[in-house]
């Protein structure tokens, strides 16, 4: 049941800390600060190339995974939504590997991508939440997200659990390919181990996010912006808002604003920015300043280090617990999902069962 929560989605949002803890404990050792992966269907040290494919939010988790894996393991990654991959018939590298990401493990397009990849000689690893699913059975190996059943149609805890598994894989691949020192590995796993506690602290900012939601709920269109691994989180924020509140939203790479979307910016369009401190902070901030100069109302998620500079021009700044740049995408996913939830509640939509959508899309 829903317990004391109004919706399954609210309950599942509040399970983020527990699910992240359970999932991370599965793949990393808190004592040695090492990633411990089960036997994989491919040797990451020998892979020439990796393909990531999935649908919807699971694909967006895969996109974050691409930034991490390319960055930490220097392994080239292609990422494509499964509905495109299956008909694009891409040339696949000999001896290549693939990762499919899915909560249900039953999504028709992702299953079709699985067949195509295996027929093309790729060794396929599935990151799935349902151990007995078709995807877990038919791939060459599976890593489980430990999210428990997800009832709300919009993915929440399963998404952050997918990120947690992909983060562990990126570290493991980095070590296998000799791109990461033991020291780097320790620093990154330490950052991941702090994620569940930080997630709990973010959920305590609920009232602040509800205030932000009251502003967003009045809008007809909303822009979500981020750079680097926060760009897929901007896409996730926009997807979730569209899906459950029916407000039109677009996620953009912040650097793309001046190539078109900035034409939309005026005082009626809230611009939700994912702008943690770190290597891309200054670049993202200057894109936000350009939007603010055109009347855009900037609503920024950042941390204590980023907040003072953003407060100079942003309408609202929500300060999240400080995390190293590596963990920031996981932490920023939580408030954008929470924001979508509160907007939907304010609009009175059917949060757990949005119109026209099904939890598991088993037809093409």
d(CA 236, CA 359): 16
Are 141 and 135 a contacting pair, CB within 8 Å?
Answer: no
Nearest to ligand F6R of 240, 297 (CB atom): 240
| Residue whose C-alpha is closest to residue 110's, from 125, 121, 95, 131 | 125
DSSP state of 89: -
For 169, the 3-state DSSP assignment is helix
Give start and end residues of each alpha helix (H) in 273-358. 281-293, 307-311, 328-347
- Token digits of residue 312: 């100079």
CB neighbour list of residue 249: distance below 8 Å, 6 or more residues apart: 221, 222, 223, 224, 237, 238, 239, 241, 242
| 179 φ, ψ (degrees, to nearest 5) | -100, -15
Among 103, 134, 160, 284, binds ligand F6R (CB under 6 A): 103
Among 28, 50, 55, 64, binds ligand F6R (CB under 6 A): 55
Nearest to ligand F6R of 16, 175 (CB atom): 16
Q: How many of the chain's residues bind ligand F6R (CB under 6 A)?
A: 16
104 touching ligand F6R, by CB under 6 A: yes
361 touching ligand F6R, by CB under 6 A: yes
d(CA 123, CA 97): 5
Among 26, 51, 110, 245, binds ligand F6R (CB under 6 A): 110
Query: Which of the ranges 36-44, 97-105, 201-209, 289-297 carries the binding residues for ligand F6R, by CB under 6 A?
Result: 97-105
b/e code 242-271 from CB counts within 10 Å (16+ = b): bbbbebebbbbbbbebeeebbebbeeebbb
Query: Which of the ranges 38-46, 51-59, 180-188, 294-302 carries the binding residues for ligand F6R, by CB under 6 A?
Result: 51-59
d(CA 106, CA 110): 8
Among 53, 57, 83, 160, binds ligand F6R (CB under 6 A): 57
Among 19, 37, 58, 142, binds ligand F6R (CB under 6 A): 58
| Residue whose C-alpha is closest to residue 143's, from 46, 36, 50, 47 | 36
Nearest to ligand F6R of 154, 271 (CB atom): 154
Q: What is the length of the chain? A: 364
Radius of gyration of the chain (CA): 19
In the range 149-168, which residues lie near ligand F6R by CB under 6 A?
154-155
Bridge partners, 302 (sequence order): 319
245 touching ligand F6R, by CB under 6 A: no
- Token digits of residue 77: 């990654």
Nearest to ligand F6R of 192, 340 (CB atom): 340
For 239, the 3-state DSSP assignment is helix
Among 23, 51, 53, 107, binds ligand F6R (CB under 6 A): 107
102 touching ligand F6R, by CB under 6 A: yes
Query: Which of the ranges 54-62, 214-222, 288-296, 312-320 carries the binding residues for ligand F6R, by CB under 6 A?
Result: 54-62
- Token digits of residue 44: 């990451």
Query: Which of the ranges 99-107, 211-219, 291-299, 312-320 carries the binding residues for ligand F6R, by CB under 6 A?
Result: 99-107
287 touching ligand F6R, by CB under 6 A: no
Among 21, 56, 228, 251, binds ligand F6R (CB under 6 A): 56
Nearest to ligand F6R of 72, 113 (CB atom): 113
- Token digits of residue 61: 């988790």
Among 185, 243, 319, 352, binds ligand F6R (CB under 6 A): 243
Q: Would you call 359 a catalytic residue per the annotation?
A: yes
> Which residues of the shown chain bind ligand F6R in the complex (CB under 6 A)?
55-58, 102-104, 107, 110, 154-155, 239-240, 243, 360-361
The catalytic residue positions are: 359
């Amino acid at each position: 049941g829903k317990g004391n929560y109004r919706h399954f989605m609210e309950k599942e949002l509040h399970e983020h800390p527990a699910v992240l803890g359970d999932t991370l404990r599965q793949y990393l050792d808190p004592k040695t600060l090492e990633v411990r992966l089960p036997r994989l269907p491919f040797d990451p040290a020998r892979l020439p190339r990796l393909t990531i494919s999935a649908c919807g939010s699971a694909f967006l988790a895969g996109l974050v995974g691409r930034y991490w894996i390319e960055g930490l393991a220097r392994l080239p990654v292609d990422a494509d939504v499964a509905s495109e991959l299956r008909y694009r018939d891409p040339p696949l590298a000999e001896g290549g590997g693939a990762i499919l990401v899915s909560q249900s493990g039953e999504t028709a397009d992702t299953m079709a991508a699985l067949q195509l990849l295996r027929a093309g000689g790729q060794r396929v690893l599935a990151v799935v939440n349902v151990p007995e699913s078709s995807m877990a059975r038919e791939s060459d190996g599976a890593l489980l997200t430990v999210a428990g059943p997800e009832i709300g149609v919009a993915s929440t805890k399963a998404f952050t659990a997918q990120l947690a598994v992909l983060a562990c894989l990126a570290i493991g691949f980095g070590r296998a390919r000799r791109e990461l020192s033991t020291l780097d590995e320790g620093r990154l796993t330490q950052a991941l181990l702090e994620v569940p506690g930080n997630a709990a602290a973010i959920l305590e900012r609920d009232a602040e996010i509800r205030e932000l939601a009251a502003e967003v709920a009045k809008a007809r269109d909303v822009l979500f912006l981020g750079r680097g691994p926060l760009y897929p989180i901007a896409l996730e924020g926009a997807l979730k808002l569209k899906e459950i509140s029916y407000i039109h939203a677009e996620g953009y790479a912040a650097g793309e604003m001046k190539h078109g979307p900035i034409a939309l910016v005026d005082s009626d369009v809230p611009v939700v920015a994912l702008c943690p401190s770190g290597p891309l902070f200054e670049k993202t901030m200057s894109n936000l300043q350009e939007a603010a100069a055109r009347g855009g109302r900037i609503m920024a998620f950042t941390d204590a280090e980023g907040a003072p500079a953003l407060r100079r021009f942003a309408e609202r700044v929500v300060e999240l617990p400080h995390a190293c740049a590596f963990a920031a995408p996981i932490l920023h996913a939580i408030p954008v999902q929470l924001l979508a939830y509160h907007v939907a509640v304010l609009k009175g939509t059917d949060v757990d069962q949005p119109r026209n959508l099904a939890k598991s899309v088993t037809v093409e």
